[in-house]
Chains A and B, each alone.
Chain A
Amino acid sequence: MDAGDIGWWGVPIAIVGGAIRVSTPFLFVSLGETITERSGRINLGLEGTLVFGAMTAYAVTVVTLSPWLGVLAAMAAGTLFGLFHGWICKFPRVNDIAIGIALMLLGTGLAFFFGKPFIQPSAPDLPAISLGWWSDIPQVRAALQINVLFLIGAALALFLWWAFRTTRIGLVLRVVGDSSDAARAMGLNPDTVRLLATAAGGALAAIGGAYLTLYYPGSWNEGVSSGQGLMAVALVIFARWNPLGCFAAALLFGGAGALGPALQSVGVTQGYYLFYAAPYVLTLVVMILTSSPGRALAGAPGELTVAK
């Protein structure tokens, strides 16, 4: 029996590998959204930011041949989108959810507009670290090819978890998110804090996009995102606005998304599309189970429209 044929063991290995590979965009977008939502706003436009970030990262990398410059450029673009959302939502009666939907359309449109010349050329990938050197089994090795961005994302989740509870900035963010009036009484300007929080969220979401074009799947085309930016918003609720929860949820989503392809690789093709829907069903079920009328979601920022 050759080492490549490991039968059904391939399924859990592929799911773990898929979870690590697919989860990174979810992780970055959901961490970004957590920062924004903790300040009391919701930015549904991160889907557009993600796609625009994906395009920017790829285009800059094609031109400069440096994937890290691509990531930086994506962050800059994402910051601009976040600043725009944060600025426009400051005006009375401007609905943050609706503006998010509009920016989703605008971001995607601008990405397709400027990205058209970059569909053909290929760009160098972001580096990955092989943590599977101890195994002879190619599937295990493939599963443990871990991208640097995944590790950065994991560290960032830990950092944000710490920062939310102990640093001054984290506390300011939470005060603004829980009560604008309390924040004003403390001499804070909620609009400014939300502007910055939305900008930070945009920058992180754009990194998620950069991962899509610079590592997995690793090229730019108009179908590069399958709604990760939107799902990440649901994922934040799922994770109870906790960065560590985002990390776990992103892995879970990645694993659920890898279920279909993993089963297909061992010959189970029945119901492929239903497995494809697994992450969405999972999110919906968890939202149903954990929501309840009459009380706000545990851990929800008080100013958040979603939680009201």
Chain B
Amino acid sequence: MADIASRPLATDRPAPSATARLAVLRETLRETLARRAEAVVIPVAALLVGLALFSLFIAALDKSPLQFFELMWRGGFGSWFSFQNALARAAPLLLAALCVALPARLGLVVIGGEGAIVLGALAAAAIAPPLRGVPPLLVLPAMALAGMVVGGLWIGAVGALRHWRAVNETISSLLMTYIAIALMNHLVEGPLRDPASLNKPSTLPLDAAYRIGPLPGLDVHWGLVVGTVVCLAAWVLIDKTRWGFAARIVGGNVRAAQLQGLPVARLTIGFCALAGACAGLAGMIEVAAVQGSANASLAAGYGYAGILVAFLARHNPLAIVPVAILLGGVEASGGLIQRRMDLPNATVLVLQGVLFVATLFSETFYGRFKAFNPDLWKRRD
């Protein structure tokens, strides 16, 4: 850059003086800061507006919003114990949210992460018993791989249908979730059933050696670390690599991407498969760290909660981490709020719904405020 700036221009204009260049630099910095600030201020404002609307709702029911938020703080974040609870609940949400955020880069709304979680978990649970006796250092990666492959194929198929048959991905992924849960129930009650599981049909339980334990000194399992690392990797992929850049072009305009010669098919199917692999990994972790075998409890709604996390994070993998912890804390405090304030446990659902709507509504404000949009400053000149 400096090289270009110092080169003499073709016109007879003298080279810009040092002060002029400093002014340009300052202007660029100001523009960058304004754009960055917008990406923080608007989501936070949307969150606050959502909380304010929810407070009105609580107040209209003659309950104290202050008490509500105080209990939420205590139940989800206030003490080390409750914060660990929040982290434990956030762990599966990280990977589930990536299943929505990655295809979103291509402009696809995939809401079928739940199906990939369930089948990934089933694959992981099914592959472990035949490998009994093999060291866990080999079995755990094999389980993770099985979950990721199955999950990747499942959501990859959604991408393939989208690309080659123009089947709407939102609806197909959702239909495939119902099919996945039925498939899991069928296999768990039939071919893969552990005969000893009477009341609750399950696969053979995992050996203790193949279970994922808690982080040292914590009550939270390793899934939190894995999820955070994968989120970071996804951010690098999307923001720092040419594949991520190409995916964004496809998301902006498919025709333009095709004219540029971008491999639209590979990008679409690849990003969907990666998304499914994330969800499948979440399923594997759920089996190995929490459930111990595959059964109907796997369809616990993490896939759906992940949709909320991804949208609140505006599909930014780095933002997914704090948002997941925030929502984990909200869910962790549900029980306390229910007991102390005599509110139904669906209160948390209502809060999530209000925050969701407020965040989506805030999309309309991007680029509208003069303070954040350098294009609007320049227009007055």
- A and B together in one complex: yes
Q: Which of B346-374 contact A (CB under 8 A)?
A: 346-354, 356-357, 360-361, 363-364, 366
Question: Which A residues are in CB contact (< 8 Å) with B164?
Answer: 293
- Which B-chain residue is minimally distant from A91 (CB atoms)? B364
- Asked whether A146 is an interface residue with its Cβ less than 8 Å from the other chain, the reply is no
Contact B186 A273 (CB under 8 A): yes
Q: Which of B176, B186, B360 contacts A98 (CB 8 A)?
A: B360
- Asked whether A277 is an interface residue with its Cβ less than 8 Å from the other chain, the reply is yes
A interface footprint on B73-108 (CB within 8 Å = 1, 0 otherwise): 000000000000000000000000000000000000
Whole-angstrom CA separation of A107 from B347 in the bound complex: 12
Q: Which of B305-322 contact A (CB under 8 A)?
A: 307-308, 311
Whole-angstrom CA separation of A108 from B351 in the bound complex: 12
Which candidate, B125-133, B165-173, B269-277, is the interface stretch facing chain A?
B165-173
Contact B308 A105 (CB under 8 A): yes
- Asked whether A129 is an interface residue with its Cβ less than 8 Å from the other chain, the reply is no
B interface footprint on A89-117 (CB within 8 Å = 1, 0 otherwise): 00111110111011101111111110010
Contact A93 B363 (CB under 8 A): yes
A interface footprint on B144-161 (CB within 8 Å = 1, 0 otherwise): 000000000000000001
- Asked whether A292 is an interface residue with its Cβ less than 8 Å from the other chain, the reply is yes
Contact B356 A106 (CB under 8 A): yes
- Asked whether B16 is an interface residue with its Cβ less than 8 Å from the other chain, the reply is no
Contact B174 A230 (CB under 8 A): yes
Q: Which of A99, A271, A283 contacts B175 (CB 8 A)?
A: A283
- Asked whether B44 is an interface residue with its Cβ less than 8 Å from the other chain, the reply is no
Contact B346 A109 (CB under 8 A): yes
Q: Which of A103, A112, A294 contacts B357 (CB 8 A)?
A: A103
- Asked whether B185 is an interface residue with its Cβ less than 8 Å from the other chain, the reply is yes
- Asked whether B111 is an interface residue with its Cβ less than 8 Å from the other chain, the reply is yes
Q: Which of B179, B344, B353, B360 contacts A94 (CB 8 A)?
A: B360
Question: Which A residues are in CB contact (< 8 Å) with B347?
Answer: 113
A interface footprint on B315-344 (CB within 8 Å = 1, 0 otherwise): 000000000000000000000000000001
Question: Which B residues are in CB contact (< 8 Å) with A274?
Answer: 182-183, 186
Max chain A C-beta neighbours (<10 A), residue from B344, B357, B361: B357
Question: Which B residues are in CB contact (< 8 Å) with A283?
Answer: 175
Question: Which B residues are in CB contact (< 8 Å) with A93?
Answer: 363-364, 366
- Asked whether A287 is an interface residue with its Cβ less than 8 Å from the other chain, the reply is yes
**Closest-CB distance, B99 to chain A (whole angstroms):** 14
Question: Which B residues are in CB contact (< 8 Å) with A164?
Answer: none
Contact B111 A287 (CB under 8 A): no
Q: Which of B179, B311, B344, B366 contacts A284 (CB 8 A)?
A: B179
Whole-angstrom CA separation of A227 from B363 in the bound complex: 28
Whole-angstrom CA separation of A101 from B259 in the bound complex: 33
Contact B349 A277 (CB under 8 A): no
- Asked whether B163 is an interface residue with its Cβ less than 8 Å from the other chain, the reply is yes
Question: Which B residues are in CB contact (< 8 Å) with A103?
Answer: 353, 357
B contact patch SS: helix
**Closest-CB distance, B292 to chain A (whole angstroms):** 22
Whole-angstrom CA separation of A116 from B61 in the bound complex: 15
Contact A234 B175 (CB under 8 A): yes
- Which B-chain residue is minimally distant from A227 (CB atoms)? B178
Question: Which B residues are in CB contact (< 8 Å) with A46?
Answer: none
A residues contacting the other copy or chain, number (CB 8 A): 47
- Asked whether A161 is an interface residue with its Cβ less than 8 Å from the other chain, the reply is no
Whole-angstrom CA separation of A308 from B366 in the bound complex: 25
**Closest-CB distance, A219 to chain B (whole angstroms):** 18
- Asked whether B109 is an interface residue with its Cβ less than 8 Å from the other chain, the reply is yes
- Asked whether B38 is an interface residue with its Cβ less than 8 Å from the other chain, the reply is no
Whole-angstrom CA separation of A287 from B360 in the bound complex: 29
Q: Which of A225-239 contact B (CB under 8 A)?
A: 227, 230-231, 233-234, 237
- Which A-chain residue is minimally distant from B355 (CB atoms)? A102
- Asked whether A88 is an interface residue with its Cβ less than 8 Å from the other chain, the reply is yes
Q: In the complex where A102-B357, A112-B349 touch, is A281 in contact with B179 (Cβ < 8 A)? A: yes
Contact A291 B165 (CB under 8 A): yes
Q: Which of A252-308 contact B (CB under 8 A)?
A: 270-274, 276-277, 280-281, 283-284, 287-288, 291-294, 306
- Asked whether B189 is an interface residue with its Cβ less than 8 Å from the other chain, the reply is yes
Contact A92 B364 (CB under 8 A): yes
**Closest-CB distance, B334 to chain A (whole angstroms):** 12
Whole-angstrom CA separation of A185 from B87 in the bound complex: 55
**Closest-CB distance, B254 to chain A (whole angstroms):** 10
Question: Which B residues are in CB contact (< 8 Å) with A284?
Answer: 172, 175-176, 179
Whole-angstrom CA separation of A227 from B177 in the bound complex: 11
Contact B182 A273 (CB under 8 A): yes
Whole-angstrom CA separation of A88 from B190 in the bound complex: 47
Q: Which of A92, A116, A287 contacts B346 (CB 8 A)?
A: A116
Q: Which of A127-176 contact B (CB under 8 A)?
A: none
- Asked whether A44 is an interface residue with its Cβ less than 8 Å from the other chain, the reply is yes
Additional A-B contact list (15), CB under 8 Å, known A107-B353, A116-B346, A287-B175 = A98-B360, A106-B357, A109-B346, A109-B353, A110-B346, A111-B346, A113-B344, A233-B171, A237-B171, A283-B175, A287-B167, A287-B172, A291-B165, A292-B165, A306-B168
Please list the 8 inter-chain residue pairs (A to B) with the smallest Cβ-Cβ separation, ordered nearest first: A106-B353, A109-B349, A112-B346, A277-B182, A102-B356, A273-B186, A91-B364, A273-B185
Q: List 7 A-B contacts (CB under 8 A).
A: A102-B353, A110-B346, A113-B349, A273-B185, A287-B171, A292-B166, A306-B171
